A and B are shown apart, each in its own frame.
Chain A
Amino acid sequence: MRKNNRIQTTGVYALLILVALVSIFPFLWMVSSSFKSDSNVFSATPSLFSDMLFRKDMFRNYQVVLKEFQFSRYILNSLFVSLSCAIGQVLVCSLAGFAFAKMKFRGKNFVFSFLLMTMMIPVQVTIIPEYFLMMSFGWIDSFLPLIVPSFLAGAFGTFMYKEFFEVVPQPLFDAGIIDGVGAFGMFSRIYFPLTASPTVTLFIIAFMNAWNGLLRPMLYISTDKLQTVTLALTAFQSQYDTQWNLLLAGSVISILPLLILFVFCQRYIIESAMGSGVKG
């Protein structure tokens, strides 16, 4: 029985390593190719080891991408846009979630179901009228169209906050009423400070979505200096579509901030996904 178990465990590990490899290999291959020179990239016998690694100019591809192609600037743009989206969503969704969870008013169900319904609508359905709207606002070629729509209608975040606020223990609420706290005070002083977990979760999700979004930056941004890193990467791709070492260095740079976020907030990211699953 015991021996059987050990064989089973070994088998499980072998399988785990195999699937983990399938899922990580493209990243390893991306990183390793980004440290290769031009001639090394196009080699009929590819090797995982890069010819420029641990040499004097090992970061040359990265330097080219960051400086000559201004990726450092694009990273800053993306940071700005993604942070704005994330902060905005936290503010707007927590307010709305609180109203849905704790207040009684006519039309509540209607607005809430409508909000949830919008989750299903792909952005492509509304993008053409939205484009016209942005055009008439005079917002084309600014960060506003990237920030404001995601800022204002975050169905997922609202849903999450609502669920969270609904299970906050009643005594806290009663204490607030006794102290004569107004509606906004109740939210900002009693309820919102409890939301560390959903707030971090929503923040990360909103940040990632904004960071990875392509359609809106592609349509709305045309000034080179205002490009987000995802947009710049596609532009780079169409211009240098076969300079794989540079292109992959750019890709690594574009996902690095997310990787860092993932490493530090893994618990939140994965548990938020798990949480949404249980609700089903």
Chain B
Amino acid sequence: MKKTVASLLVFICLAASVFANGTKETKPVSSDTSTPVTLEWWSWDPSLKEKNEALIKQFEAKNPGIKVNLATASTSEYWTKIRILANQKKLPDVFTMSSGYIEEWRKSNLMLNLDSYINNDPDINDFYKSLIDAGKTISGGDRYVAMPFALVTTVLFYNKGMFDAAGLSYPTADWTWDDFLNAAKKLTIDKDGDGKIDQWGFWRYGRYAQVEPWVYADGGNLIDRSKMRFAPDANAMETLKFLTDLTLKYHVAPTQKEMSDVRNQDIFPKGLAAMWVDGSWFIDNNRNVADPSMRWGITTVPVGPHGQKGIVYGWPDYYAIAPNAKHPDAAWKLLKYIAGQGQTADMFMAGKIPSYKPLATSSTFNDPSKQPAEISILTQQAAQTMKTSFTMGWSEWRGYGAAANLGLNSILDSIINGDMSFDEGMSKADKNINSVLARYYN
């Protein structure tokens, strides 16, 4: 009976796969004996597929013994698919890894220990050491498990036209919160006098890249790493209060609901707000969305009363090697190439910073003909101290991706929208977030 059922199932599968002409086999077929090593490489960026394939061709030309197969999944599906591969012990030789998951993957031993490569390969000096170390810190272990290929960081965007019109000088790295607040007040304008603000001084809501940069620039911490608890210290609380007060007390920033009809990343380039703190990767979107006549710039996030300069919120994206890779040396060669030498400036969405120094400092990457003129700030930040609040379960408690309407994100929005008081929100955050963290760390 079992056999009949099994063979019937097989039959149905076969019949159905004839129908499903879209089905494809992902298994590499390589029977050619002259190419002894075939590597699998998984990437999450479909927009780079063609460029990555060109890169492979170059790599293969330089390394005649190695053949590379590339598989690309969009970011949203990438994690589920790669988890399945991990589950089935079929991880590709080289795969993309994010700061959000690296700790969980390191704990499950799903990435090869790279210590011997990183400590001994002379080419490593071409990469920002701060990024390589940040990966080690974020993964929470005592070994290198991934090699960064790019960094994203956070900056203050500002609209130069609006600053000029208000007679204000542009923000600098020396700005204090007071300087920021004064400017924001002057930049919040009801242009047609109908009682509705048409130009806001500042835009933010509960999103991680809009909140955490302020926290770190004020010397604060959201997570107590010794106990692995969500415990915003006094500086962090001061920052969160300041950020919510921008709407509730100073009225220089809109509520989340007032802006929910416009995409978060379009509010600044569409000229609805004069200043904005968010990820540097939005430089690309600014260039696409903003009117060509709009003049804008970037600078570092204002340092808070208890903060110090030179601490930034940023995190790398990495490549990792499967723990059971059959040809680790070849995989390392490939990894080094795709993270460094093989990359070109056009493979970086404007605002992402290469971890490979020759490229990051090249004139093709820092194109002076395009806005913002201050783009070199990004590479300066790449060399600074990086702080993050990534933990296991981060996307769940922070409210990221498909959970963006939940977690801390949603609590901060509710405070800004006036649905709950600051204290109420914080005690709720304490309870909810710590119950998530307790699951992972106790």
Contact = CB atoms under 8 A, between A and B. Distances in A.
Interface stretch (A1-9, A18-26, A117-125, A220-228): A220-228
Nearest 8 Cβ contacts at the A-B interface = A222-B77, A142-B23, A143-B20, A242-B263, A226-B22, A144-B16, A142-B20, A222-B73
A6 to B, nearest CB: 47
Contacts of A224: 46, 74
A31 B67 CA distance: 51
Given A222-B73, A242-B261, A141 B81 contact: yes
B377 interface: no
A147 B20 contact: yes
A75 to B, nearest CB: 14
A68 to B, nearest CB: 14
Contacts of B54: none
Contact of A142 (B17, B81, B262): B17
B245 interface: no
5 contacts: A139-B13, A143-B23, A144-B16, A148-B16, A222-B81
Given A224-B46, A242-B266, A144 B261 contact: no
B369 interface: no
Nearest to B260: A242
A195 B251 CA distance: 68
Among A144, A151, A240, A241, residue most surrounded by chain B Cβ atoms (within 10 Å): A144
Contacts of A235: 76
Among B24, B46, B266, residue most surrounded by chain A Cβ atoms (within 10 Å): B24
Nearest to B87: A135
A42 interface: yes
Interface in A25-73: 42
A84 interface: yes
Contact of A222 (B19, B74, B263): B74
B20 A144 contact: yes
B262 A225 contact: no
Interface of B: 12-13, 16-17, 19-20, 22-24, 46, 73-74, 76-78, 80-81, 84, 87-88, 261-263, 266
A194 to B, nearest CB: 27
A235 B76 CA distance: 10
Nearest to A135: B84
Contacts of A240: 263
A140 B84 contact: yes
B21 to A, nearest CB: 8
A212 interface: no
A77 interface: yes
Contacts of A222: 73-74, 77-78, 80-81
Interface of A: 42, 77, 80, 84, 135, 137, 139-144, 147-148, 151-152, 219, 222-226, 235, 240-242
> How would you classify the secondary structure of chain A's contact residues: helix, strand, loop or mixed?
helix
Nearest to A241: B263
Contacts of A84: 19
A219 B80 contact: yes
Nearest to B84: A135
Contacts of A223: 22, 24, 73
Given A142-B17, A242-B261, A242-B262, A77 B77 contact: no
B17 A144 contact: yes
Contacts of A140: 81, 84
Among A77, A137, A143, A152, residue most surrounded by chain B Cβ atoms (within 10 Å): A143
Contacts of B76: 235
A242 B16 CA distance: 39
A253 B371 CA distance: 38
B293 to A, nearest CB: 17
B22 A142 contact: yes
Nearest to B404: A238
A223 B26 CA distance: 12
A144 B20 CA distance: 7
Given A137-B13, A219-B80, A224-B74, A144 B263 contact: no
A225 B22 contact: yes
Contact of B261 (A42, A137, A139): A42
Nearest to B22: A226
Contacts of B23: 139, 142-144
A223 B24 CA distance: 10
Contacts of A139: 13, 23
B12 A148 contact: yes
B22 A77 contact: yes
A150 to B, nearest CB: 12
A140 B24 CA distance: 10
A219 B263 CA distance: 26
Nearest to B10: A137
A102 B261 CA distance: 59
Among B76, B77, B263, residue most surrounded by chain A Cβ atoms (within 10 Å): B77
Contacts of B263: 240-242
A171 B84 CA distance: 57
A148 B23 CA distance: 14
Nearest to B196: A44
A222 B81 CA distance: 8
A147 B19 contact: yes
A197 to B, nearest CB: 27
Given A223-B24, A242-B266, 10 more contacts: A80-B19, A135-B87, A137-B13, A139-B13, A144-B23, A219-B80, A224-B74, A240-B263, A241-B263, A242-B263
Contacts of A226: 22
A135 B81 CA distance: 10
A124 to B, nearest CB: 15
Among A42, A219, A222, A235, residue most surrounded by chain B Cβ atoms (within 10 Å): A222
A84 B23 CA distance: 15
A207 to B, nearest CB: 16
Contacts of B12: 148, 152
A109 to B, nearest CB: 21
Contact of B16 (A42, A77, A147, A219): A147
A179 B261 CA distance: 71
A222 B12 CA distance: 23
A144 B13 contact: yes
Contacts of B262: 242
A139 B10 CA distance: 12
Given A222-B81, A224-B46, A143 B73 contact: no
B277 to A, nearest CB: 21
Nearest to B46: A224
B85 to A, nearest CB: 10
